[in-house]
Amino acid sequence: MTGAEVGPVEVLTFRAGYNTGVVMAGAAALGAAAGGVGTFLLLRARAMAADAVGHATLPGIVLAFVAAGLLGADGRSLPVLLAGAAATGMLGMAAAEALTRSTRLAPDAAIAIALSVSYAIGIVLLSWVQTLPQGSQGGLESFILGQAAALSASEAVGLGVAALVALAVLLALFRPFGLLCFDEDHARARGWPVARLDAALLALGVLVTVLGLQTVGLVLVVALLILPAVAARFWSERLKGIFWLSIAFGAGGAFLGAAASAVWPRAPTGASIVLALGAVFAASLLAAPRRGIFAEAFRRGTAGWRLRAARALQAGRGYPGAALVGWRRGGRPTARGAAAVARLELWDRCLAESPDALPAGLAWGIDPLPPEALAQLGRRNR
Amino acid sequence: MTADTSAASPFEASGLTVAWGGRPVLWNVDLRLPARGLAAVVGPNGAGKSTLFKAALGLAPVLTGQVRLLGEPVARVRRRIAYMPQRNSVDWDFPVSARDVTAMGLYGRVGWFRRLRRRDLEAADAALDRVGLGNYRHRQIGQLSGGQQQRVFLARALAQQAELLLLDEPFSGIDTASEAAILDVLGELEGEGRHIVCIHHDLRTVAAYFDHATVLNAVVMASGPPAEALAEDTLRRAYDASGLKPRALAAE
C-alpha cells in the first residue's frame, strides 16, 4: 500500500491497485463466511462463546510469535500466528465450558471470566514481547483492532479461500445444523451425534474468528459473526432466507469496511467494518416491515385506540378520532366502521367458544380472524 | 384376539430410577405396556411422566434399571421411534415452516448431505395432509394455533414412519378440531400395527380415548385398563401426594 491517499471511487471500483482489490475481496469472502456461521451461532445462542474465543486468541498469537522466533522461523508468518490463535482460542472456550459444567456458574459468567482473564494474559504477554528486540517490529498489536492494510495480497487470497471452504462445509451441514439449533432433544432421540455437531459448529466459529483476526481484530470479530445474522433476522422468517441474507450483509459490510480502510489507511479496519454492519443493523431494526420497531410501534400504538373505538361504535357511541379515519360520519358508523365492529363481534364469539383455535401473535379484536378459527365457529353453530 | 401378554411389549421398564441433579424423579419403575391399543400415562405435574419418556430415549440420566423399546435397547431402534415433546419446550419463533418441521422426520432416511428432493417434500406434504394441515405447509410455526402446532409435530412423527410413537401431552391446551384430528390419526396408526404411548393430562378423557392407563407419581401406582387403573383410591394416593385434586374427584 502506498502512503498516498486513494479516492473512494477508485477503491470501490477496484482501480486502486491489485493489493487493495484482493484485500477487499478477501474481506468480503470472510464476511460471507462469518455471516453464514454467525446465523447458526446466533440460533444456537453461542454468540458470547464466539467473543470468548476472540479474546482468548491474544495469548496464542504472542506465544506463537515467540515460539517461531526461538525456532528460527519467521515469527510474523500469518499461518503460524493464526495457528497459535486457534489453539488458545479453543482453550479459552474449553475453559468456559469446563467452568459451566463443573460449578454452578451460569454460562455467561463463565464466558466473561474466560474472556477477560485470557485477554489480560495476552496483554501482559504482548507488553513483555514488545520489550524484546524483535517484538516491537512484530506488528502484533494490529491483531487487536484489525489492520487490513497489513495484509499482503497472498495472505488475503489465503484467507479468502479458507473462508470459502468454511462456507462450503457449512452448506454441506446445513440440515443437521438446522435440526440441532431447532430441536436438540429430537435430534438426540433420533440418534444424531449432537455433541459432535455442536463441536463442528464451534470449530467453524473458531476458524472464522481466527481468519478474521487480521482484518477485523480480535475485540470486534464477534460483531462480524453476529451483526449480519441479527440484521438478516429482521427481514426473513425462513432459515434459508436468513442464512443467505446474513451472508450478503456480512460480505457487503466487510467489503465496505475494507474499502474505507484503503481510503483512510490509518483507520482501524475492524471498527470500519463493524460500523458498516452496525448501520445495516440499525436500518433493519428501524425499517423492517414486520419486525422493525417502527412497524411494531405503529401496530401497538394503534391497537389500543382501534379496540376502544370499535367498542364505542358497537355501543352506538362515538369515539375521538373515529370520524378522522372514516369509521363514523354524521353520528353513525360508516361501512368501514361497521366492518370493524363486525370483526370485534367475531372475536367476542371466538374467544367465548374456542379460544384454543387462535394462533399467537394476532391483535385480539382487531386483526382478521384466520379461516380455521372462523370454521370452528360455524361448526359449533350446527 | 391373542392376549396382550403373549405379544412383545413395545415399552418395558424394569427397576428404573432417574434423578435430575441428585433429586430422584422416578423410583424403581417397573412397567410393561401392551402391544395393542392406545396407552396413556397419567399423573400429577412433576410426577416424572416426561422424564419416563426421556429416560427411555436416553435423554435423562438413569441411576439404575433399564428400558427396552420394541424389545431392544434404545440405541438399536432409534430410527423406529418417534418422540413428540411437550409444547412449551419448543422455540416457536424459530424460522421454520410447518413443512420444514415435518420434513425433519425424513432426515434419518435422507442422510446428512443430500438435498431434499421433490419426493421428500411430497412425503412431508402428505403427512401434513393426513393431519389436516395441507393448507398450512408454508406457515411459520409460531403463526399456527396450539392445536395446529401439535399436529405439525404429529406430522413429523408420521413422516418418520415410526413403529413406536411417544407423545408428551399431545392433547394439552388445544382446540376441539385438532383434538379430534389427532385422535383419528392415532387410531389409524394403531390400526396399522404401530404402538402409541401418550402422556395425558386430562383424567376425564382417559377412559374414552385410551385402552390402557398407567398412573405414575415417581412410582407406578397402577397399570391396566382405565376402569381398573383409575380406581378412586389409586388416584387419591397419586394426586394427594402432590396436594393436587384431580377434577375427576372434585365433585365429591
Taking an 8 Å cut-off on Cβ atoms, the answer to whether B107 and A238 are in contact is no
The 10 Å Cβ neighbour count of residue A294 is 12
Residues of B in contact with A236 (CB under 8 A): 95
A314 to chain B, any CB pair closer than 8 A? The answer is no
Residue B91 near chain A (CB below 8 Å): yes
**CA A248/CA B209 separation, integer angstroms:** 52
Q: Is A190 on the interface with B (CB under 8 A)?
A: yes
pLDDT at B247: 47
In chain B, alpha helices (H): 49-56, 74-77, 98-103, 107-110, 118-130, 146-160, 176-191, 203-209, 226-229, 232-240, 247-250
How confident is residue A13, by pLDDT bands cut at 50, 70 and 90?
A: confident
pLDDT at B242: 53
CB contact under 8 A, B95 and A242: yes
B10 near B35, Cβ under 8 Å?
yes
- State how far residue A87 is from chain B, nearest Cα, in angstroms: 29
Contact A216, A274 (CB under 8 A): yes
Write out chain A residues lying below 8 Å of B107, CB-based: 175-176, 179, 190
CA distance A172 to chain B (A): 6
Same structural domain for residues A272 and A325?
A: no
| Per-residue confidence (pLDDT) for residue A53, from 0 to 100 | 92
* Residue B174: closest C-alpha in chain A: A356
Point out which residues pair with B97 in neighbouring strands: B140
> How high is the pLDDT of residue A118?
95
Q: Could you tell me if A248 and A310 lie in one domain? A: no
Q: Which domain holds residue B99?
A: 4-250
DSSP code string of A30-78: HHHHHHHHHHHHHHTT-HHHHHHHHHHHHHHHHHHHHHHHHTTS-TT-H
A365: cell is 379484536
Is A376 in the B-facing interface, judged by CB distances under 8 Å?
A: yes
Please tell me which residue, A202 or A17, carries the higher pLDDT value: A202
CA distance A325 to A323: 6
- Please indicate, yes or no, whether residues A303 and A263 belong to a single structural domain of this protein: no
pLDDT of residue A246 exceeding 90 = yes
Domain stop point among A287, A311, A343 = A287
Quote the pLDDT of residue A371. 77
Q: What percent of chain B has pLDDT over 90?
A: 63
Same domain flag for A279 and A305: no
Q: What is the ipTM of this complex?
A: 0.84
pLDDT digits (tens, 9 = 90+) for A151-177: 888 888 998 999 999 999 999 999 999
The CATH number linked to B162 is 3.40.50.300
At A258, is the pLDDT very low, low, confident or very high (cuts 50, 70, 90)? confident
Same domain, A301 and A260: no
State how far residue B5 is from chain A, nearest Cα, in angstroms.
28
Name chain B contacts of A186, Cβ cutoff 8 Å: 83, 85, 104, 156
Q: Is residue A208 a part of any domain in this protein?
A: yes
Kindly tell me if the per-residue pLDDT of A63 is higher than 80: yes
Spatial CA neighbour of A145 closest among A64, A52, A261: A261
For residues A69 and A63, what is the distance between their CA atoms, to the nearest angstrom? 10
Chain A contact present for B120, CB below 8 A = no
Q: Least CA distance to A172: which residue of chain B?
A: B113
Residue of B126 and A133 predicted with greater confidence:
B126
- The yes-or-no verdict on residue A4 having pLDDT over 80 is no
In one-letter notation, the amino acid at residue B151 is R
Round to whole Å and give the CA distance between A30 and A45. Answer: 21
Facing residues of B62 across strands? B18
Dihedral pair phi/psi, residue B27, rounded to 5°: -125, 110
The pLDDT confidence band at residue B30, using thresholds 50, 70 and 90, is very high
> Is any Cβ of chain B less than 8 angstroms from the Cβ of A5?
no
pLDDT at residue number B2:
41
Instruction: Please determine, for residue A189, whether its predicted confidence score (pLDDT) is greater than 80.
Output: yes
Q: Average pLDDT in the A268-290 region? A: 90
Q: Which residues in chain A have their CB less than 8 angstroms from residue B89's CB? A: 185
| pLDDT above 70: residue A338 | yes
Enumerate residues 17 to 56 of chain A having a beta carbon within 8 A of any beta carbon in chain B.
Answer: 43
In chain A, which residues have their Cβ closer than 8 Å to the Cβ of B87? none
Interchain contact, A237 vs B140, CB within 8 Å? yes
Residues A41 and A74 in one domain: yes
How far apart CA A189 and CA B223 sit, in angstroms, is: 26
Residues A122 and A268 in one domain: yes
> Does residue B106 surpass a pLDDT of 50?
yes
Residue carrying the nine cell digits 396436594: B243
Q: Are A262 and A24 in contact (CB under 8 A)?
A: yes
Residue among A161, A252, A165 at smallest CA distance from A203:
A165
Residues A198 and A302 occupy one common structural domain: no
The verdict on a CB contact (< 8 Å) between A238 and B97 is yes
How far apart are alpha carbons A220 and A212 in whole angstroms? 9
The beta-carbon neighbor of A359 closest among B89, B101, B143 is B143
A378 at B interface, C-beta within 8 A = no
Q: Kindly determine whether residue B175 and residue A354, on different chains, have CB atoms separated by under 8 Å.
A: yes
- Domain end among A287, A322, A341: A287
Does residue A210 share a domain with residue A76? yes
Q: Does the residue A3 lie in any domain?
A: no
Work out the average pLDDT over A285-292: 89
* Alpha carbon A338 to its chain's center: 45
Q: Are A268 and A146 in contact (CB under 8 A)?
A: yes
Q: How far is CA B220 from CA B17, B52, B170, B224, in A?
A: 12, 11, 21, 11
Is the minimum CB–CB distance between B6 and chain A shorter than 8 Å?
Answer: no
Domain count, chain A: 2
Chain B positions touching A179 (Cβ under 8 A) are: 104, 107
A77 or A251: which carries more pLDDT confidence? A251
| Domain final residue, candidates A246, A271, A287 | A287
Shortest Cα–Cα distance, A343 to chain B (Å): 19
Domain with A367, as residue range(s), is: 293-381
Tell me how crowded residue B75 is: count the other CB atoms within 10 A of its CB.
9
The confidence score (pLDDT) of residue A153 equals 85
Kindly report each contact of residues A255-259 with a partner whose C-beta sits within 8 Å and lies 24 or more positions away, as own/partner.
Answer: A255/A24, A255/A25, A255/A27, A255/A28, A255/A31, A257/A27, A257/A216, A258/A23, A258/A24, A258/A26, A258/A27, A258/A28, A258/A148, A258/A215, A259/A8, A259/A11, A259/A12, A259/A24
pLDDT for the residue B70: 94
CB atoms within 10 A of CB A236: 18
Query: Chain B contacts of A183, Cβ < 8 Å?
Result: 85, 90, 104
In chain B, which residue's Cα lies nearest the Cα of A359?
A: B145
Q: Rounded to whole angstroms, how far apart are CA atoms A79 and B192?
A: 60
Q: Is B97 on the interface with A (CB under 8 A)?
A: yes
Q: Over range B66-89, report the average pLDDT.
A: 90
* A95 contacts A256 by C-beta, under 8 angstroms: no
Residues 183-212 of B with CB under 8 A from A: none
Chain A hits for B85, Cβ within 8 Å: 183, 185-186
How many CA atoms lie less than 13 Å away from A239 in the CB half-sphere? 26
Helix, strand, coil shares of chain A, percent, nearest 5, are 75, 0, 25
Helix %, strand %, coil % of chain B (to 5)? 45, 25, 30
Q: Please state, rounded to an integer, the average pLDDT across all residues of chain A.
A: 87
**Residues B246, B235: contact at Cβ < 8 Å?**
yes
AA letter at B65: G
pLDDT at A245 over 50: yes
Residue B184 has pLDDT above 70, yes or no: yes
Say yes or no: B79 contacts chain A, CB-CB below 8 A. Answer: yes
Q: Which residues of B touch A194 (CB under 8 A)?
A: none
The pLDDT of residue B3: 45
The gap from C-alpha B191 to its chain's centroid, in whole angstroms, comes to: 17
Q: Per the structure, how many domains does chain B have?
A: 1
Amino acid at B73: P
Q: Is residue A1 part of a domain?
A: no
Nearest CA distance, A49 vs chain B (angstrom): 21
Residue A193's alpha-carbon distances to A49, A200, A207, A290, B164, in angstroms, are 21, 11, 21, 36, 21
> Do the domain assignments include residue A302?
yes
Asked whether residue A282 falls in the same domain as residue A297, the answer is no
Q: Over 50: is that where the pLDDT of B91 sits?
A: yes
Chain A residues with beta carbon closer than 8 angstroms to that of B161: none
Q: What is the CATH classification number for the domain harbouring A182?
A: 1.10.3470.10
Span of A24-38, B46-60, B64-78, B236-250 with lowest mean pLDDT:
B236-250
A196 and A312 co-located in one domain? no
Please indicate if any CB of chain A lies within 8 Å of the CB of B59: yes
In a domain, A2, yes or no: no
Under the banding of pLDDT at 50, 70 and 90, the label for residue B250 is very low
| Whole-number pLDDT of residue B51 | 94
- pLDDT category at B248 given cuts 50, 70, 90 is very low
Of A267, A336, A189, the C-alpha closest to A1 is: A267
Which of A214-218, B87-91, B162-166 has the highest mean predicted lDDT (pLDDT)?
B162-166
- Partners of residue A233 in chain B, C-beta under 8 Å: 95
Q: Within this chain, do residues A268 and A301 fall inside the same structural domain, yes or no? A: no
